[in-house]
């Protein structure tokens, strides 16, 4: 397993992480969320060994992860890291990029592995295409496939689907995370997108003000958000009498002591998001139909 033991880190005089401590088991999917600048990417770089630690230690099984002061070449064979920069070979084909680190002495096995990963990232039709001719989202998919090629024990993903359009994103997530579970590959995903987490992550870590403020299964954090920051990750929320309620927990009804005035209606796919004014504050309520501005409504809270 991966053990991150009480690490504190900063750039120059600016502290980025403080007393961060957690574990990741073999085959486990852990999501790290937090606002921009919360230290998500820095944490992945530390786990990969890109920086030297002054406080705390990181282990994969019994091997300590060390930085550039100790390793001439950054990184370890058992670990792969997919950054937002991709670091691909632009003038060679997609399949050559994916198979770059696979042995040439076993060409059939290399081709079989490459074909398998082309299917995982849905790029079979682009196998012979040079990477320089791909879109940003396609390059991101090549980078993920190449990281998986040598079957790492742990994979680090930094905003792994950020460049990929919505037409491909859902099926790609399912393919990639299914492949990781099937092959017992541990995974840490730094993300701002709840859809990278819900349905896939075994545990979710929330970073804020340099520290871990929550660590639990996504279902538990969703049902019991202890702070507005956590609730905001999952969707529109409201604070009523110091309690947090999601927009889908407020229901518009014919009669209630809770009264409000409609400010705006937003089409939201399967429902409408109704913004209302309640005690001089804006609240958001999910509703089946659009409502007109200035309509008076009643609502109730359902837990």
Q: What is the DSSP letter of 179?
A: H
- Measured CA to CA, the distance from residue 16 to residue 56 in angstroms comes to 14
Same topology for domains 2-223 and 236-301, yes or no?
Answer: no
CA 217 from centre of chain: 14
Q: What is the structure's pLDDT at 100?
A: 84
Match 């791909």 to its residue by tokens.
134
Residue 300 has pLDDT above 80, yes or no: yes
Query: For residues 99 and 147, what is the distance between their CA atoms, to the nearest angstrom?
Result: 10
Q: Any idea what DSSP says for residue 92?
A: S
> Are 58 and 22 contacting, i.e. CB atoms less than 8 angstroms apart?
no
Give the pLDDT confidence of 43-62 residue by residue, as tens digits: 999 999 999 998 999 999 99
What is the pLDDT at residue 162? 87
Model pLDDT, residue 72? 86
d(CA 192, CA 59): 26
Residue 212 scores a pLDDT above 90 = yes
Residue range 236-301, CATH number: 2.40.50.140
The per-residue pLDDT for 87 is 82
Q: Nearest Cα to 32, choosing from 197, 200, 250?
A: 197
- What the block records as the tokens of 262 is 């409609």
Mean pLDDT of the chain: 93
> Does the structure show a pLDDT above 90 at 150?
no
User: Coil, helix or strand for 268?
Assistant: coil
What is the token pair recorded at 50?
């890109």
With a cut of 90, say whether residue 80 has pLDDT above it: yes
pTM: 0.91
Report strand pairing: 55-60 vs 2-11. antiparallel
Q: What percent of the chain has pLDDT over 90?
A: 85
> What is the C-alpha to C-alpha distance for residues 172 and 183, in angstroms, rounded to an integer?
17
* Token pair belonging to 203: 């545990």
Starting at the earlier edge strand, list the strands of the sheet with 14-24. Answer: 14-24, 2-11, 55-60, 63-64
Query: Could you give the C-alpha distances from 110 to 81, 107, 129, 150, 198, in angstroms and in order?
Result: 21, 5, 18, 10, 34
Pairing of strands 186-190, 29-33: parallel
Confidence of residue 108 (pLDDT cuts 50, 70, 90): confident
Q: Which has the closest alpha carbon to 137: 121, 151, 117?
A: 121
The conformation of residue 209, written as its DSSP 8-state character, comes to T
Helix (H) or strand (E) holding 171: helix 166-182
pLDDT at 154: 97
Residues 130 and 91: beta-carbon distance below 8 Å: yes
Architecture of domain 2-223: 3-Layer(aba) Sandwich (3.40)
pLDDT at 84: 75
Helix then strand then coil, % of the chain, to nearest 5: 25, 35, 40
Q: What is the DSSP string of 192-225?
A: S-GGGTTTT-SEEEEEETTEEEEEE-HHHHHHS-
- Residue found by looking up tokens 């409502």 in the block: 291
Q: What is the pLDDT of residue 85?
A: 75
Average pLDDT over residues 246-255: 96
Residue 294's nearest CA partner among 277, 272, 271, 273 is 277
Stretch 166-173: mean pLDDT, rounded? 89
Annotated domain spans of the chain: 2-223, 236-301
- Check: CB of residue 6 under 8 Å from CB of residue 59: no
DSSP string, 63-85: EEP--TTT-SS-S-TTEEEE-SS
């Amino acid at each position: 397993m991966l053990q991150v033991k009480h690490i504190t880190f900063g750039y120059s005089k600016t502290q980025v992480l403080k007393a961060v401590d957690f574990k990741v088991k073999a085959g486990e999917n852990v999501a790290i969320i937090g606002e921009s600048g919360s230290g998500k990417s820095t944490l992945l770089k530390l786990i990969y060994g890109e920086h030297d630690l002054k406080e705390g230690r990181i282990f994969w099984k019994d091997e300590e992860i060390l930085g550039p002061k100790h390793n001439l070449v950054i990184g370890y064979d058992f670990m792969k890291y997919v950054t937002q920069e991709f670091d691909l070979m632009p003038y060679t084909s997609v399949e050559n990029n994916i198979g770059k680190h696979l042995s040439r002495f076993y060409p059939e096995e290399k081709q079989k592995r490459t074909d398998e990963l082309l299917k995982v990232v849905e790029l079979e039709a682009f196998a012979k295409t040079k990477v320089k001719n791909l879109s940003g989202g396609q390059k991101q998919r090549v980078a993920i496939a190449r990281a998986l090629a040598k079957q790492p024990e742990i994979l680090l993903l930094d905003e792994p689907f950020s460049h990929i359009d919505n037409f491909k994103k859902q099926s790609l997530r399912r393919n990639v995370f299914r492949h990781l579970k099937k092959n017992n590959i541990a995974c840490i995903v730094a993300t701002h997108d709840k859809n990278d987490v819900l349905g896939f992550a075994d545990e979710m870590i929330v970073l804020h003000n340099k520290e871990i403020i929550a660590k639990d299964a996504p279902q538990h954090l969703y049902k019991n958000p202890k702070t507005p920051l956590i609730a905001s990750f999952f969707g529109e929320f409201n604070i009523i009498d110091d309690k947090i309620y999601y927009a889908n927990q407020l229901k518009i009804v014919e009669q209630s002591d809770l009264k409000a005035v409609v400010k705006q209606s937003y089409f939201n796919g399967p429902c409408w998001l109704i913004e209302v004014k309640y005690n001089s504050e804006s609240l958001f309520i999910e509703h089946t139909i659009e409502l007109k501005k200035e309509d008076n409504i009643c609502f109730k809270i359902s837990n």
